[in-house]
């Protein structure tokens, strides 16, 4: 039986392929769109049975070429650019393609674990997996919301496991191809290494400069949650994947800068010292993001915990330095 990973050359997808390999699993069908050829490097240290372009794969899947050969689909493929304005392309990639996979998985009794998003919650203050808290601020969030709604309508039709994972702000290895959509930890690392300072948004949404707060979650933890459900196919539902604790962009900046300083045997700096020395600087909040930006997110993980998942999540102070250390190793610093 094959494990299908869509978005396999992407951020979370490639981390999942690597985690499967670490379990000795190489019967993996990697599915992606490599128009951005640079993403290949995310799979260079992974072992897969075959690679398929996403359009070829879905066509062959629907034609029956893989009937009886697929055990689970780990659907991570998506357009994740929250600033994308081409709604037709977004809906085709994130909603229609996902719907076709869902149809197949229900018809063929194949387990489906798919990537949803905290963008579904929009600018609200409650981040719980129920309809009254869902109000996306952009077409990316809407595409994810619409598919979750479809899953809810068809939930009783399921013939195997269906799990949606609403990722919050994920950071970690194998994200360099994401460009401007890479995590703030990644951008802060490159800014500090290149210029000696990091740039944060000025205040927005009622928060002061750099004090906007997000639920920053390590890709390591996201992978663990995927594997948890993979190991327990009797569990289905839609679940938040976050630490359950909002932390500020200042927290990420301080953790990033001090991890870099530690590698050079330099003493850590406090936030106050970083601001006084100009290590932390502020840029005007972008006008094109006003009304479309989540200044605060914090996952309610009670539903996930109720399934029995009891592993701790890495805090920013724990997870970001681990990530920065790996980035430094890759750059030879």
Residues classed as catalytic: 140, 178
Q: Are strands 198-201 and 169-171 parallel, antiparallel or unpaired?
A: unpaired
The structure tokens listed for 158 are 């399921």
231 burial level (CB within 10 Å; 0-12, 13-18, 19+): exposed
Helices and strands (H, E) in the chain, number of each type:
11, 13
Question: Alpha-carbon distance 283 to 289, whole Å?
Answer: 13
Q: Which residues pair with 163 in a beta bridge?
A: 113, 237
Question: Alpha-carbon distance 51 to 120, whole Å?
Answer: 31
DSSP type of residue 321: H
* CA distances from residue 93 to 50, 64, 149, 301 in whole angstroms, order as listed: 22, 21, 16, 28
Question: Alpha-carbon distance 111 to 117, whole Å?
Answer: 20
């Amino acid at each position: 039986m094959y494990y299908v990973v869509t978005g396999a050359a992407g951020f979370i997808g490639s981390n999942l392929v690597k985690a499967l390999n670490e379990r000795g699993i190489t019967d993996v069908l990697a599915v992606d769109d490599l128009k951005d050829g640079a993403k290949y490097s995310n799979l260079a240290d992974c072992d897969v049975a075959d690679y398929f372009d996403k359009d070829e794969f879905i066509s062959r899947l629907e034609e029956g070429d893989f009937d009886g050969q697929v055990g689970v689909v780990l659907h991570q493929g998506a357009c994740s650019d929250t600033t994308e304005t081409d709604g037709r392309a977004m809906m085709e990639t994130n909603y229609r393609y996902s719907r076709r996979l869902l149809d197949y998985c229900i018809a063929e009794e194949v387990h489906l674990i798919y990537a949803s998003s905290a963008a579904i919650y929009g600018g609200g203050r409650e981040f719980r997996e129920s309809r009254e808290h869902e109000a996306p601020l952009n077409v990316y969030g809407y595409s994810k919301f619409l598919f979750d709604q479809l899953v809810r309508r068809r939930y009783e039709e399921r013939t195997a496991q269906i799990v949606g994972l609403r990722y919050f702000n994920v950071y970690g290895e194998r994200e360099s191809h994401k460009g401007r959509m890479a995590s703030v930890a990644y951008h802060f690392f490159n800014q500090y290494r290149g210029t000696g300072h990091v740039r944060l948004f000025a205040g927005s949404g009622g928060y002061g400069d750099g004090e906007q707060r997000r639920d920053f979650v390590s890709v390591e933890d996201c992978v663990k949650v995927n594997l948890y459900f993979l190991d327990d196919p009797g569990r289905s539902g839609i679940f938040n994947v976050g630490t359950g604790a909002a932390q500020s962009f200042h927290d990420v900046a301080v953790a990033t800068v001090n991890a870099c300083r530690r590698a050079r045997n330099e003493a850590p700096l406090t936030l106050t010292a970083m601001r006084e020395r100009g290590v932390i600087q502020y840029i005007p909040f972008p006008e094109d993001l006003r009304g479309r930006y989540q200044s605060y997110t914090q996952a309610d993980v009670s539903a996930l915990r109720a399934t029995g998942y009891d592993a701790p999540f890495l805090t920013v102070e724990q997870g970001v330095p681990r990530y920065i250390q790996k980035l430094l190793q890759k750059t030879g610093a």
